[in-house]
Amino acid sequence: WMNQVEIWFSKLQREVIDRGIFTSVADLRRKILRYIRLYGKSAKPFRWKYSDPRRRIQSW
């Protein structure tokens, strides 16, 4: 589940923090909380795909 958390934080960074202009820490907090609320309403499960089968974890 750690990979899912990392993906979510990556999305938060790309969609809110990297593109944002924040006038204060309170403004940053408000925009992050708004993103969390909106994300919660439209969230869908992450889909795991392997485009390169050689990179899959193998059991020996």
The model's pLDDT over 21-57, given as tens digits with 9 standing for 90+, comes to 999 999 999 999 999 999 888 877 767 666 776 766 6
How many domains is the chain built from?
A: 1
Give the per-residue pLDDT at 36: 94
Higher pLDDT, 36 or 19: 36
**Is residue 29 in a domain?**
yes
Range of the domain at 29: 9-43
**Is residue 48 in a domain?**
no
**Is residue 32 in a domain?**
yes
**Is residue 15 in a domain?**
yes
**Is residue 4 in a domain?**
no
CA distances from 15 to 4, 11, 57 (A): 16, 6, 30
**Is residue 1 in a domain?**
no
For 11, residues 6+ apart whose C-beta sits below 8 A from its C-beta are 39
Q: Does the reported pTM lie above 0.85?
A: no
